[in-house]
Amino acid sequence: MSTGQGGGSAPDLKTIRTSIESAKALAEEVVAAVRQLPRVEPDGTSECPFAEELYAKKDALVQRLETQYSALCANMPPMEAEIQRCRHNLATVDGGHARLTGDRARSHFSEAEAELAQHYRNCVQLRDRLREAIQFVQGILQAASSRAYTGEYSVEPQGWSDTATWGSAAETDMGEEIENLFELDQNRQH
């Protein structure tokens, strides 16, 4: 965070942009994980031999997304405060500009006013993107919560949050098998 006028701290816009993109990417991972979930009976049984692991992976991704969702929400008050600060500063600069008589001084004020107006527009656009991201992630979390594993986990969901181990050759073959089983399940439902 940088220090604004009056000693307050302004939000780091680059960090907020990065957190928005990161949350959206993770939300897309959650969507992909949910799409791979096999059907599980109320007693926790499934035709898919690794249903539990797939649900555990989804739950771990959801936990990470919930953390990012909280971070996104925490960015909203500082963004609103920065927008208010910019509005106040624009009004101050505009009032001072009208009282100036020298061309050179007016030129400097005009440059400062244009720079401040651009910062204000950037903050408003980022706040709007932040709102959209919060709503998007909230919708994904709600949809993901509707697909819960009905059995008892014998593996810990956080064990699947390590994405470095996901994607090895054996698991890639498992991914193809997941697709085949998913298609089989879809065909049986029709």
Report which DSSP code applies to 158. G
Q: Residue ranges of the domains in the chain?
A: 12-159
Q: What tens-digit pLDDT sequence spans the chain (190 residues)? A: 444 444 456 789 999 999 999 999 999 999 999 999 998 888 878 898 888 899 999 999 999 999 999 999 999 999 999 999 999 988 887 766 566 666 666 677 778 888 999 999 999 999 999 999 999 999 999 989 888 776 666 555 443 333 333 333 333 343 444 444 445 544 544 4
Joined tokens for residue 129: 């993107």
**In the CATH scheme, what architecture does the domain 12-159 have?**
Up-down Bundle (1.20)
Sign of the CA dihedral running 112, 114, 115, 117: positive
Q: What share of the chain is helix, strand, coil (3-state, %, to 5)?
A: 75, 0, 25
Strands 9-10 and 2-3: what pairing?
antiparallel
Sign of the CA dihedral running 18, 21, 24, 28: negative
Cα distances (angstroms) measured from residue 96 to each of 75, 91, 140, 167? 32, 9, 48, 61
Q: What pLDDT score does 189 carry?
A: 43
Mapping DSSP to helix (H, G, I), strand (E, B) and coil, where does residue 13 land?
Answer: helix
> CB 88: neighbour CB atoms within 10 A?
12
Mapping DSSP to helix (H, G, I), strand (E, B) and coil, where does residue 4 land?
Answer: coil
